[in-house]
């Protein structure tokens, strides 16, 4: 038989309830009713979804697309010219 007077305290001693019956699960009690917690959680998720709206493909206007194509063609032309200059040198 163990001597409880000389037994060292364990880190979870403050969590143990002497009247607790091991056959009954402990109930989690909160001051906020469960339905209110669900409402709060859902509203927070909706806020996050609105904040991080992602679309599969960004929508560009026609002139934006044209500018992008022109910029790409200009870059390709510059790279080709630089390549020709290097070949001459």
Domain assignment of residue 8, yes or no:
no
Reported as a single tens digit per residue, the pLDDT across 16-46 is 555 555 555 556 565 666 677 788 888 888 8
Domain assignment of residue 68, yes or no:
yes
The parent domain of residue 61 ranges over 27-88
Dihedral-angle region of residue 46 (phi above 0 means left; psi in -120 to 50 means alpha; beta otherwise): alpha
Indicate the pLDDT class of residue 89, thresholds 50, 70 and 90: confident
Domain assignment of residue 7, yes or no:
no
Domain assignment of residue 42, yes or no:
yes
Cα three-residue angle 41-42-43, rounded to 5 degrees: 95
Domain assignment of residue 81, yes or no:
yes
pLDDT of residue 74: 94
Domain assignment of residue 2, yes or no:
no
Reported as a single tens digit per residue, the pLDDT across 40-86 is 888 888 888 887 776 555 666 777 888 888 999 999 999 999 988 88
Domain assignment of residue 15, yes or no:
no
pLDDT of residue 79: 92
The total number of structural domains that make up the chain? 1
d(CA 26, CA 15): 11
């Amino acid at each position: 038989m163990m001597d409880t007077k000389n037994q060292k305290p364990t880190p979870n001693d403050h969590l143990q309830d002497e009247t607790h019956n091991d056959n009954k699960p402990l109930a989690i009690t909160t001051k906020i009713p469960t339905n209110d917690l669900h409402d709060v959680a859902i509203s927070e998720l909706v806020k996050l979804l609105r904040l991080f709206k992602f679309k599969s493909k960004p929508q560009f206007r026609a002139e934006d697309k044209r500018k992008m194509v022109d910029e790409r063609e200009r870059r390709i032309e510059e790279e080709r010219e630089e390549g020709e200059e290097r070949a001459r040198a």
